[in-house]
Structure 1
C-alpha cells in the first residue's frame, strides 16, 4: 500500500471524527500528503524506510516536529499537532483542539487526561496508530490510562528534551505494544524492524513477528507508601496484575516488603518553581531524591519491574479534578528518571478505562515493552 493512500485515509477519518473529538489543534493536510508522496518516491528509489507512510500525531507543533525527527527519517508522516491544555487553568488533564475542548473517546463528558490529551484521544479513536507525547509528571501515562491505550515514558535524559528541570521525558502513545516497540527502536537509534500492529503493517508491508520474552520478576504496590487510590482503580489494577501473573507474563515476588517512597510532591513542585519557601524547598528536593533513589535501587536489585495503578482516580469530568492529584502515582518516576509505561487495566463502572503502570530500571525500556506485548497476546 502506498504511503499517500494510508495518509489520505487517516486524514479522511480525522476530518470525519475530529470535529466532535477535538484531538487535533492543527491538521496539516497538504503538507502530510506532500510528505507521503515524497516517502513513496524514496521507497520507489530503493531507500529502506522502516516506518514508511505511518501517519502520526505530534504533540507540540514545531518543537514536537523537531523531537520527532528520527520518526520522520524512518518514513513516518505527521498529519497534525495534537491538542494540549490551553491557558487559564492550574490543572493539566485536558486539551484544547481546533474545534474546542478535547473529549475522552469513551465518554464525552470525561477528560482524556493530559497534558498529552490530543495524542491519547487520537490514538484511542483510531485517527492515527501512533502519537508523540512528553511526560513531566504523568502527561503520557495518565491520558494513556484514561483513554485505554499504551503510554510509554522513556528514561529521563535518554532522549533530548527541552525541559530545563530534568523532570520531563519524551514518550509515545499507541494502541499496540508492537508500535511502541517500533517507536523505541527508531528513537533509540537501533532502527525499526518487523513486529508492529495491523495499521502499521499496512503501511510497512510487513508481518508482525512474535518474540517470547523471559519472565520478569515483579513487585506490586498499591500506593507507593503515600498515595490513596480509590477502590475501583486499585481493584482493576490488582486484577490486571493477577491476569499477567496467571498468564506467565510476570512472576510476582512472594512476601515482598511494601514499597515505601517519600511523597515526591514537595520536590516536584519546588523544581517547577511552585514551592513557597525556596530554601526549604531545595532541602526537600535533595532529601526526597536521596531517599527515593536508595529505595528504588534496592527494589530493582531484587525485582525487574514495579507495578502500580497508573492513577489513584478514574477520569474526572471537564470541570477539573478538585483537590486530587492524578499524578500521585506517576510523578515519582519523573523525579527519579525511571522509564514507565501505562497499559490498559480494564473498564470501571462508568465505562471508562483505567491503567496499570509498569516501571523498570534506568535505561530498561525493552523490559517494559515485552510484558506489554505479551499481555496483549495472552489476555482478552
Structure 2
C-alpha cells in the first residue's frame, strides 16, 4: 500500500477549505486502513483529502458538466470516508458525484490483474484477502472495495459491475452490493457504477448522489424464488442455495411479501456476453446474442408480470481460493442481468458451515431500483464487520 505524498500548494488552492480539515471519521478510517491493510491488501494507495481533490479537479465545475446534481438539505454522505475502486477511481464520474455530496475518499482499492472478468484482486504486496477467510478471494473485480467494507475500514466503497463485479464480492464478503438498472446500450454490455456498503440505508444516499432522483415504484407485494434461473443447476452448491432461500423467506415474512416459485428458465448468456464485449464480433455472432437477449427478456417480462422481486443466490458457490474458480462459473447468476439490464442487489444471507459468506440476489423490473433499495433499507440490518485476525495471516 502506497501513501500519497504531501500535496503541493497548487492542489491546496484548488481544494475547498471545508474539506481540507480532516474530520475525526476520516482520520479514524485512515487509521484503520493503516492498521488492517498490511494483511488485507485491499488498498493500492491511501490519499489525503487535498490530494483526492487535486486529482479530481474542482468539484463545482465538474458537477455542472455532470448534470448539476444537487441534494436538498444535509447529505448523509457529508464527511463520510469512502474507498474508491481502482487506480483511476478518483477521476471516475461516480467518485466526483459522491465528493460533490460531501463524501471523502481515503484511498484507491485493488482490482484483478489483466483483462477479462476475474473474481479476485491484486496489489504489489500480493492478493487481496477475504476478511472472513484469508485463504479465499473476496471476489471481483471490485475486490478491494468489498474487502475494505467487510473489514470495517469504511462503510461505503465504489465499484463497477459488468458481469457481477459488485454483487459477487458483496456476496463473498457479506456486505451489500447494487447494480443499478442498465448496462446494455448500443449493442454492448458496459459496466455500471455501483456501491458496496455495510449499512443498507447508505444505498439510497449513494443513489441520490450518483443516479439522481429514482422513479417512484409501487410497494413490492410478491417475491419469486429461483435457485438457479434454470441455467446453473449443475454448478449450484446445495448449502449456498439453502442459505439464500432461507434469507429470502425471512425477507418475505418481514416485508409481508407473498411467496411463489415461478419456475424461471433462462438461457445461458456466456456467449452473448462475450459477443457484446468483443469489438471484433461478427454480424452472425451479434444476431445470435440478440436472440438470446430477446428470449431472456421476454421470459423475464412474463415472470415480472406476476412478481415484483425475483430472488436467487448471488453466486452458485461460496468464495474460491486465490488460485481461481476452476471449472465452476461464478458469474452464472449475475451476468444474465447485465445483459438484460435489470437492477440487482446482493444482500448478506448468512455463512456456510465453513464460515464463508453467502449472498442473496434480489432483482426488480428495469427502472425499479427504488424497490430494491427500499426493501433493504426497511428490512435488512447492517452487515457484521469481519473479525480481525489474532495475528497477521501468512
**TM bracket (short chain):** 0.7 to 0.9
Determine the C-alpha separation between the residues in 1 that align with 2:249 and 2:295.
Answer: 30
Distance apart, 1:188 and its partner CA: 2.5
Q: Output the TM-score relative to the length of structure 1.
A: 0.83
Q: Equivalences for 1:339-354 in 2 at 5 Å?
A: 339-354=343-358
* Equivalent in the alignment of 1:128: 154
Aligned-residue CA RMSD in angstroms? Answer: 2.8
Deviation at 1:23, TM superposition (A): 0.6
Q: Find the counterpart in structure 2 of residue 227 from structure 1.
A: 232
Counterpart of 1:76 in structure 2 is 103
8 Å CA contact 2:187, 2:276 repeated in 1: no
Give yes or no for the alignment of 1:111 onto 2:137: yes
**Residue matched to 2:374:** 370
Q: Is the 8 A contact 2:176 2:198 kept in 1?
A: yes
Partners in 2 of 1:379 and 1:12 — Cα distance? 21
Match of 1:242 among 249, 256, 276: 249
Segments of structure 2 that go 5 or more residues without pairing to the other structure are 1-20, 60-71, 385-394
Once residues 86 and 365 of structure 1 are traced to their aligned partners in structure 2, the CA distance between those partners, rounded to angstroms, is 31
**Aligned pair 1:360/2:386, yes or no?**
no
24-33 or 285-294: which moved more? 24-33
Q: What's the offset of the Cα at 1:249?
A: 4.8
Aligned CA distance change for structure 1 residues 279 and 20 (closer, same or farther; 3 Å)? same
CA distance in 1, matches of 2:44, 2:198: 21
Matches within 5 A, 1:93-172: 93-156=119-182, 165-172=188-195
32, 39, 59: which one aligns with 1:20: 39
Deviations 1:318-338 (A, max 9, x none): 011001110000000000011
Q: In the alignment, is residue 281 of structure 1 matched against residue 285 of structure 2? A: yes
User: How far apart are residue 286 of structure 1 and its match?
Assistant: 1.2
* CA offsets 1:49-100 (integer angstroms, 9 cap, x no match): 512211111113335533221111011111111100013x865111113532
Equivalence for 2:208: 185
Instruction: Give the conservation status (yes or no) of the 8 Å contact 1:110–1:318.
Output: yes
Query: For the Cα contact (< 8 Å) 2:220–2:309, is it kept in 1?
Result: no
Encode CA deviations 1:171-214: one digit per residue, 9 max, x unaligned. 110001101111011222249xxxxxxxxxxxxxxxxxxxxx94
Deviation at 1:136, TM superposition (A): 0.4
Cα deviation digits, residues 14-73 of structure 1 (max 9, x gap): 0010111011111113636989xx99xxxxxxx965122111111133355332211110
Map of 2:329 onto structure 1? 325
Aligned twin of 2:198: 175
CA-CA distance at 1:151 after TM superposition: 0.3
* Alpha carbons of structure 1 residues 22 and 377: separation in structure 2 relative to 1, 3 Å: closer
**What runs of 5+ residues in structure 1 fail to find an aligned partner?**
40-46, 192-212
- Number of aligned residue pairs: 342
Q: Is the 8 A contact 1:167 1:335 kept in 2?
A: no
Take 1:75 and 1:117, find their aligned partners in 2: how far apart are those partners? 24
Equivalent in the alignment of 2:28: 9
Aligned to 1:79, what secondary structure does the other structure show? strand
- Between 93-102 and 109-118, the greater mean CA deviation after superposition: 93-102
Q: CA deviation at 1:373?
A: 2.2
Name the residue aligned to 2:3. none
Q: Distance in 1 between matches of 2:109 and 2:307?
A: 37
CA distance, structure 1, for counterparts of residue 382 and residue 322 of structure 2: 35
Report the counterpart of residue 201 of structure 1 in structure 2.
Answer: none
Contact (CA 8 Å) 2:42, 2:109: kept in 1 or not? yes
Within the alignment, does 1:297 sit opposite 2:301 as a pair? yes
TM-score normalised according to structure 2 size: 0.80
